[in-house]
């Protein structure tokens, strides 16, 4: 597992500080700024960076791996947060931990408190490597949509090369947002929106919110008319596996403008861990209902992908739909995977995956 937070020695600041760490003199970041911190010393346990004449000591065994990382240092805390890792394509900014839904498989259960970090996130985006895709997630980011739209406008204006992948439950758009959405470069934003069933009652039961499906349908139409690039996301559960084919029919009729439909395996953390025994669907045991849904959706021209599915949990003829989607910092493989010929393209498992409660059909290929 890759650390997203690193220990630092006390540092004399009164406001949070966003800086880009650099470990080589010949910078690959041509527009070096006052937010750049140069490595001045390191050994096998620490790395000292010069931040405007002050030394920031980071406890790390691999100083070079931090090159280009954009980090947040917070007053009074002895950790820094790696907001953007230059060497990774899996960078996500957590906009808020608040949410109005309580999805039974939520990996990040909601909290009441919110800290507005948009100004720091904007600084981080400005320092990101060229052509980076940055995820924005929660909680529900659209609970703070005025600030979110302002952030996106400023970020896109300063860094038109950056792409965003926004995960939202789709509950908080309304017609008045068309002006804000139209002001954005919508081609640079992928909106990831979950839908769990065509049947409203089944969807509402999974997200634990009455009326959520109805609101979602209305708001997906708003996104569609604003030219949104849409990724519909469906976590596979015992609660919805028998609804999948019906859902494929629904989205190919009503959200046919979507760019992709992602069917996702369960991540065993948060509420999903609590509900694992009831909701984990072992696709290595039976793939029939997933296959029917894929066949129907792709037959109607909808690009369909499988996220978080280990390759050997999927019949060979459907493996071409699998994406190595698990973020590098929380990805692992099992001892069974040693020597597997598919390992380099397989997504593997979440760090917190428990073998004795998981797939029964994991076999090296
Ligand atoms: S054995 Fe491991 S690496 Fe090979 S396909 Fe299965 S999960 Fe992937």
Q: Which residue CA neighbors atom 6 of ligand 1 most closely?
A: 312
| Chain segment 273-329, per-residue pLDDT in tens | 999 999 999 999 999 999 999 999 999 999 999 999 999 999 999 999 999 999 998
- Nearest-atom number in ligand 1 for the CA of 311 is 5
Ligand 1 center–CA 319 separation, angstroms? 12
pLDDT in tens, 69-121: 999 999 999 999 999 999 999 999 999 999 999 999 999 899 999 999 999 99
Task: For Cα atoms 10, 14, 15, give the angle at the middle one, nearest 5 degrees.
Answer: 110
List the structure tokens of 214.
Answer: 């109805």
Q: How many other C-beta atoms are found inside a 10 Å radius of the C-beta of residue 327?
A: 17
Give the separation between CA 81 and CA 5, rounded to whole angstroms: 5
Looking at ligand 1, which atom is closest to the CA of residue 337? 2
**How far is it, in rounded angstroms, from Cα 202 to Cα 223?**
23
> For the purposes of burial, counting CB atoms within 10 Å of the CB of 217, is it exposed (0-12), middle (13-18) or buried (19 or more)?
middle
State in Å: Cα 245 to ligand 1 middle: 27
Interval 238-279: pLDDT, tens: 999 999 999 999 999 999 999 999 999 999 999 999 999 999
Whether the predicted pLDDT of 29 surpasses 70: no
Domains and CATH numbers, the chain: 5-84 (no CATH), 91-357 (3.20.20.70)
Residues near ligand 1 (Cβ within 6 A): 310-312, 333, 336-337, 340, 342-343, 346, 348, 362, 364-365
| 139 prior amide bond cis, ω within 30 | yes
Residues 6 or more apart whose CB falls under 8 angstroms from that of 132 comprise: 84, 91, 161, 162, 163
Q: Which of 342, 347, 361 to mutate to test the pocket of ligand 1 (most atoms within 8 A of CB)?
A: 342
What's the Cα-to-Cα distance from 143 to each of 100, 101, 169, 234, rounded to whole Å? 8, 11, 10, 21
CA–CA separation, 296 vs 237, rounded Å? Answer: 19
Model confidence at 335, in pLDDT bands (50, 70, 90)?
very high
Separation of CA 61 and ligand 1 centre (Å): 29
Average pLDDT, the chain: 95
246-275 b/e (C-beta count within 10 Å ≥ 16 → b)? bbbebbbeebeebebbbbbbbbbbbbbbeb
The whole-model pTM stands at 0.94
Kindly give the number of the ligand 1 atom that is closest to the alpha carbon of 347. 8
Å from CA of 237 to ligand 1 middle: 21
Q: What is the DSSP string of 78-109?
A: SEEEEEE-TT-S-EEEE--S--S---TT-SS-
CA dist., res. 85 & res. 91, Å (int):
7
Q: How far is the CA of 348 from the centre of ligand 1 (A)?
A: 6
Q: Are the CB atoms for 81 and 71 separated by under 8 Å?
A: yes
Ligand 1 center from residue 358 Cα (angstroms) = 13
Instruction: Tell me how far the alpha carbon of residue 315 lies from the centroid of ligand 1, in angstroms.
Output: 12
* Predicted confidence band of residue 7 (pLDDT cuts 50, 70, 90): very high
Compute the distance between CA of residue 74 and CA of residue 120 in angstroms, rounded to an integer: 11
**Which residue out of 309, 333, 339, 350 has the highest number of ligand 1 atoms within 8 Å of its CB and is therefore the one to mutate?**
333
């Amino acid at each position: 597992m890759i650390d997203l937070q690193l220990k630092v020695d006390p540092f004399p600041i009164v406001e949070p500080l966003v800086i880009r760490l650099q470990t080589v003199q010949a910078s690959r970041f041509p527009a070096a700024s006052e937010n750049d911190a140069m490595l001045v010393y390191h050994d096998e346990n620490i790395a000292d960076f010069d931040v405007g004449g002050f030394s920031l000591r980071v406890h790390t065994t691999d100083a070079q791996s931090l090159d280009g990382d954009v980090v947040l240092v917070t007053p009074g805390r002895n950790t820094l947060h790696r907001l953007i890792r230059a060497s990774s394509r899996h960078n996500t900014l957590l906009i808020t931990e608040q949410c109005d839904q309580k999805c039974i498989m939520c990996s990040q259960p909601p909290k009441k408190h919110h800290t507005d970090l948009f100004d720091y996130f904007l600084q981080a985006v400005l320092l990101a490597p060229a052509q980076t895709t940055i995820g924005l997630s929660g909680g529900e980011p659209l609970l703070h949509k005025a600030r979110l739209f302002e952030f996106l406008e400023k970020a896109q204006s300063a860094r038109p090369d950056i792409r965003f992948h926004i995960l939202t439950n789709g509950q908080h758009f309304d017609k008045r947002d068309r002006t804000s959405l139209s002001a954005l470069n919508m081609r640079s934003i992928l909106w990831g929106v979950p839908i769990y069933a065509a049947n409203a009652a089944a969807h509402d039961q999974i997200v634990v919110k009455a009326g959520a499906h109805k609101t979602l349908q209305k708001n997906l139409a708003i996104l569609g008319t604003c030219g949104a690039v849409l990724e519909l996301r469906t976590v596979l559960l015992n609660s919805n596996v028998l609804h999948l084919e019906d859902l494929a029919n629904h989205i190919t009729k009503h959200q046919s403008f979507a760019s992709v439909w992602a069917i996702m395996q369960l991540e065993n953390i948060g509420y999903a861990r609590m509900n694992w025994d009831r909701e984990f669907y072992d696709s290595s045991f039976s793939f029939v209902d997933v296959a029917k849904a894929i066949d129907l959706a792709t037959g109607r021209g909808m690009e369909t992908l499988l996220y978080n599915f280990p390759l050997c949990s999927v019949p060979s003829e459907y493996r071409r739909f699998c994406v190595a989607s698990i973020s590098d910092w929380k990805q692992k493989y099992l001892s069974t995977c040693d020597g597997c010929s598919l390992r380099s393209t397989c997504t593997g498992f979440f760090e917190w995956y428990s073998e004795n409660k998981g797939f029964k059909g994991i076999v090296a290929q």
